[in-house]
Amino acid sequence: MKLRYFPQWLSILPLMVLSAGVLHGQTTNVLTWRNNLWRDGLNTTETTLTQASVTKTQFGKICSTAAGSIDGQIFAQPLVVTGGIPGYNHAVYVETMNDSVYFINGDSSTCAVISHFSLLQAGEEAVHCQDVGGGQCWTFNPLIGILGTPVIDTTTNTMYLVTWSELTTGACATTKSLACFVHRLHALNIATGAEKFNGPVVIPSVTIGVSTFISKRHIQRPGLLLLPKIESNGDSALYLAFSEMDGGGVVGQSIPNGWVFSFDAQNLSTAPLAWTTTPNGEGGGIWMSGAGLAAAIDQTGGNTYIYLSTGDGTFDAENGGSDYGDSFVKLTPNLTVAASFTPYNQYCDDIGDNDLGSGGIMLIPNGIGSGTIDFALANGKDGNLYLLDRSDPGGYDGPNLNTCPVSSGTDLNYETVQATASEFYSTAAFWDQNLYSVANDTPLQKYQISSTTCVPGPICTTPTASSSIPFGFGTVPVVSSNGDNNGTAILWAIRGNGWPVQNQGLHPAPSVLYAYDAQHVTQPSTLPMLWNNNQCPTRDAVGNATKFVVPTVANGRVFMGTMDPTDSTNTMGRLDVFGPTTATCK
């Protein structure tokens, strides 16, 4: 694969990814996880939904897909394309854990399915959770297929996604050996579902150092990243990352490593680049609660970089090694480490299952908090918000000895906010110099960003507002607004336990979709709640929650993937759609 160069104007890409050409008024595409490559969850092109219109008398559920029509649980974020399918104004793309893709009419009052494509090949089925990862089935059950959120390129009308399947014929019918499991990268025509660019291709077994990518032992959890073709002789680059299954390994075996692969997006058959987080150790999975790999231009130097965080694993970079467990990592587009940050108590984090990479990376828009520093925000199971200077994240300043507790050390990142005693399984959202974050079973909190009023700053350490209720495991907020117009900023969040089967006393339960006034807060106070679907439980009932589900807000509607509550096996999915309605609230 050729080296790829991404010039300075890629810094506007987050805006390009979100906004589409005008069709029947202002319209919005959602082409990637949380709207853009900054992964800030912000949609500033929403002209229909406002704080005045999102009330129980004017806003509610428009439709749900019919019972039994979606063949698997939905974990990937629904994506939306304006005019993606001829004859339809908005097409919604939904993927399932049964390795299926659904094209749904985004303007329908019945959530009508336009097309359905199974990506399973003959003699195989979606992976059964009891066959992988030592049979741990807490997180995903019973099937694991398309897990990470795809990415869509409207310049070529292509959707990229990764499936996971297991062979069912021959010896694989009984042995479930390593050779029986396969991840495939697909490039689908968004109008017809046809495969493109020599896809699908198998993610290869690659060895770096002493570590080998083995399909059976890895899940493709993070959202995919596309860095587009910009120069006439350049390549579009597609990035996909992997973690170990269910955060653990098989007893008696090393914990699988984290991996990033980079493919030529116009020719999937070209051998990919590869990088692993712990080439000479174990662990360091990249899962980030489903967050997409982030990317942006650094003002210093004008180069493009990719940003991610890793889970528990071996760390030896302080000694010149190449293992990056529990670390924030900055990669070049050609998958070399440009810089990193690791908390000084990493060894304790590792042995205590306190991984930094339980939450995703959010890039703060340039100029916010400082005119010259590009910031990134990481959070993990230790309950801290880590603000990082992207040009110099801080590296590591801790002990050289693997001892716990750690007697000395310093975190060299720009600022640390001790936000909560709970664990983060989420990625913060951004709006108007404010951060919105939520940890496990805690209220959703709003933090101000200011280079003048926050001490030490730029994040004020005390929340300016909090929700009146706690949110459950893996709530991922987003914000919609009409530019900077007052009265249009709405914070959306989904509450639910997210367990696909009974686990630790928790049962699958319906999601609750909340809308908050994101802007008008007298600090410190409670975030003003505008609406939630339990205000009209008959009209606005939704399906059961899956983990780390992200609401998609586009063109006056909110789309959310759930599990079909009428299905006693908890294997079927459902898409619930909300928007302006005249239906009576009963």
Q: Report the CATH number at residue 148.
A: 2.130.10.10
Burial class of residue 168, CB neighbours in 10 A (0-12, 13-18, 19+): middle
Radius of gyration over alpha carbons of the chain, in Å? 22
CA distance 550 to 42: 12
- Of the chain, the percentage scoring pLDDT greater than 70 comes to 91
pLDDT at position 302: 83
Residue 402 belongs to a domain? yes
pLDDT digit string (tens) for 406-445? 878 999 999 999 988 899 999 999 999 999 999 998 999 9
Sequence-distant (≥ 6) Cβ neighbours of residue 16 within 8 angstroms: none
| Mean pLDDT along residues 27-53 | 96
The total of structural domains in the chain comes to: 1
499 versus 7: the higher-pLDDT residue is 499
| Mean pLDDT along residues 473-501 | 88
| Mean pLDDT along residues 530-541 | 96
CA distance 399 to 347: 9
pLDDT band at 456 (very low <50, low <70, confident <90, very high): confident
3-class secondary structure for 363-413? EECCCCCCCCCCEEEEECCCCEEEEEECCCCCECCCCCCCCCCCCCCCCCC
pLDDT at position 504: 57
Residue 2 belongs to a domain? no
371 pLDDT above the threshold of 80: no
CA distance 71 to 101: 10
How much is the mean pLDDT over the chain? 90
pLDDT at position 402: 81
Residue 484 belongs to a domain? yes
Residue 316 belongs to a domain? yes
194 pLDDT above the threshold of 50: yes
Are 495 and 456 spatial neighbours (Cβ–Cβ below 8 Å)? no
Nearest Cα neighbor of 42 from 23, 18, 25 is 18
Identify the top-confidence range among 58-72, 122-136, 235-249.
58-72
Among 24-28, 174-178, 363-367, 490-494, the least confident range: 24-28
pLDDT at position 261: 98
**Count of CB atoms situated within 10 Å of the CB of 68:** 11
pLDDT digit string (tens) for 83-116? 999 999 999 999 999 999 999 999 999 999 999 9
| Mean pLDDT along residues 552-580 | 94
Q: Is 356 helix (H, G, I), strand (E, B) or coil?
A: helix
25 pLDDT above the threshold of 80: no
pLDDT at position 20: 36
pLDDT at position 369: 77
| Mean pLDDT along residues 71-81 | 97
CA distance 469 to 90: 34
Parallel, antiparallel or unpaired: strands 490-495 and 225-227: unpaired
- Of the chain, the percentage scoring pLDDT greater than 90 comes to 74
Sequence-distant (≥ 6) Cβ neighbours of residue 533 within 8 angstroms: 60, 61, 512, 513, 540, 541, 542, 578
19 pLDDT above the threshold of 80: no
The DSSP 8-state label assigned to residue 513 in this structure reads E
Bridge partners of 61?
578
pLDDT band at 500 (very low <50, low <70, confident <90, very high): low
pLDDT at position 405: 87
pLDDT digit string (tens) for 115-166? 999 999 999 999 998 898 776 677 788 899 999 999 999 999 999 999 999 9
pLDDT digit string (tens) for 319-342? 889 999 999 999 999 999 999 999
Element of type H or E holding 348: helix 346-351
Residue 585 belongs to a domain? no
pLDDT band at 26 (very low <50, low <70, confident <90, very high): low
Q: Is 144 helix (H, G, I), strand (E, B) or coil?
A: strand
pLDDT band at 451 (very low <50, low <70, confident <90, very high): confident
pLDDT at position 501: 67
Sequence-distant (≥ 6) Cβ neighbours of residue 170 within 8 angstroms: none
Are 426 and 442 spatial neighbours (Cβ–Cβ below 8 Å)? no
Residue 515 belongs to a domain? yes
349 pLDDT above the threshold of 50: yes
Structural domain boundaries, residue 448 = 8-580
**Tokens linked to 355:** 């991984």
pLDDT band at 508 (very low <50, low <70, confident <90, very high): confident
Residue 434 belongs to a domain? yes
Residue 586 belongs to a domain? no
| Mean pLDDT along residues 51-62 | 97
